[in-house]
Structure 1
């Protein structure tokens, strides 16, 4: 096994912990994000990841998730915004585009499921944890972004 695969497996396990905690509590601890950020920065230094791709991913995630967070009202928590920015250190450009797309597809599916399951007792104040979908989208994009992008481009022509 390659060292990068083992390192990425450790990242996935830590992301699983963050997703589980957010699912149970609707909270993402800053300490968890700090540790994840440190793990990813060390990964970047060890494997010499292209800094330009990281900056593009950070800008894309910052713009998209800040718009969702601040406008028109707070549609996601601050922890999700911070998690998206930290995940840009792992899913660089163009993987981050696939990650965002897949995350929102899964988020929409889960939201529809909860709406249909609780159709008579749904209130606007109910919240759905977005971090598990964001993490799942990033894991899928990290390992399969090239195939997904090629599929999209084959549809476009």
Structure 2
């Protein structure tokens, strides 16, 4: 059991880069949002996203033992009055169903951990910002896939961990999702 838990944590060599990335993410949250309760939630949010990204890159897995409690903690912004329960439930359901359909259609091209992380992002962000997160994740993932294929680093059937792209999209959506949503819909209407 202790060995299994040990595998969930980053190697010592990864701790400093992860800590630096986390500090930079917190600075970004504080810069755009100020020192608020939401920023405190964002600090936890970004730390877990970095942790999951690291594990997905290292192991090709998003572990339920982290993702499921992370989803439950997604209701902290609801309890703090930062997000309505309705928004969190719609976001979690929308992203979960969308990714579950993709999971079925992709036939091993998308993992169950990605489905759970997408649903978790929906809970944390609400449906509007979660859609922004998913859109950004697919854009970044597509760009990375084209680059890796063009440079020969990956072949067509090789897998690419999608968790880091979901994490990046989730972070951007946490910091500026409402503004991006307003910019898009404000410009369209």
When the two structures are superposed, what TM-score results if normalisation uses the length of structure 1?
0.88
* Deviation at residue 154 of structure 1 after TM alignment: 4.9
Residues 1:111 and 2:142 are matched in the alignment: no
**Match for 1:14 among 37, 45, 48?**
48
Q: Does the CA contact (< 8 Å) of 1:68 and 1:74 recur in 2?
A: no
CA distance in 2 between counterparts of 1:17 and 1:54 reads: 22
Give the C-alpha shift of residue 72 in structure 1.
Answer: 5.1
User: Distance between the aligned counterparts of 2:63 and 2:36, measured in 1?
Assistant: 31
Q: Answer yes or no: is 1:133 the counterpart of 2:165.
A: yes
User: 1:62-85: per-residue Cα shift (whole Å, max 9, x none)?
Assistant: 221111100152320111111111
Runs (4+) of structure 1 exceeding 6 A deviation are none
Tell me, in whole angstroms, the C-alpha distance in 1 between the residues paired with 2:71 and 2:96: 16
Task: Name the count of aligned residue pairs.
Answer: 155
**Does the CA contact (< 8 Å) of 1:101 and 1:137 recur in 2?**
yes
Q: Are the counterparts in 2 of residues 18 and 28 from structure 1 also a CA contact under 8 Å?
A: yes
Structure 2: runs of 5+ lacking an equivalent: 1-34
Instruction: Point out where structure 1 has 5 or more consecutive residues left out of the alignment.
Output: none
Q: What does residue 114 of structure 2 align with?
A: 80
CA RMSD of aligned residues (A): 1.9
- Structure 1 contact 62–85 (Cα < 8 Å) conserved: yes
